[in-house]
Structures are given as structure tokens and as C-alpha cells.
Amino acid sequence: FVDTGIRSGTDVLKALALGARAVFIGRPILYGLASGGQDGVRRVLDILKRELVYDMACCGLTSIDQINKDILYKH
């Protein structure tokens, strides 16, 4: 698992591609809670999900199970 620095759906995708089986997302959730309560948390989770789905689509993936290190590009 990865428990630091996850701020976006893209970060989730990268962590999973590197082999994480789970990621913990704290700070964005707390920001949503502080700014909008329960609705703010829902909004943050929706944004993260949309980012992850979009990034997966850009990689030609349709399922979380398809995420692996082959989608990573070493610059």
C-alpha cells in the first residue's frame, strides 16, 4: 500500500501501477470535509474517481485489474 503524497486520481493510478494493492488518501478528504462537510467529501471522492477513470482510459484500460507497471513510462 501507499500512504503518503496521494493527491489525485493520477497519483492513485501511478501507485497501483507500481504495485500498491491499496492507497490511502487523507489530505484531500480533509480539505473536502473542512470546506464542505459531508458533501465536500463526496465531491473530492467524485473528482478522484473521475481522474482515475479518465487516466485509465488514456492508457487504454477499462478495469482496475488491468493496471500494471507496463503503463509506466520512464523518462
> Region 37-66: what's the mean pLDDT?
98
Q: Is 71 a domain residue?
A: no
Q: Is 28 a domain residue?
A: yes
pLDDT range class, residue 4, cuts 50, 70, 90: confident
Question: Residues 52, 54, 56, CA angle at the centre, nearest 5°?
Answer: 65
Q: What is the pLDDT of residue 74?
A: 74
Q: How many residues does the chain have?
A: 75
DSSP 4-41: S---SHHHHHHHHHTT-S-B---HHHHHHHHHHHHHHH
For the chain, how many structural domains are there in total?
Answer: 1
Residues 21 and 1 sit within 8 Å (Cβ to Cβ) = yes
Q: Is 2 a domain residue?
A: no
Counting residues of the chain whose pLDDT is more than 70, the rounded percentage is 95
Q: Is 51 a domain residue?
A: yes
Q: What is the pLDDT of residue 14?
A: 96
pLDDT range class, residue 71, cuts 50, 70, 90: very high
Q: Is 13 a domain residue?
A: yes
Q: Is 3 a domain residue?
A: no
Domain encompassing residue 35: 9-66
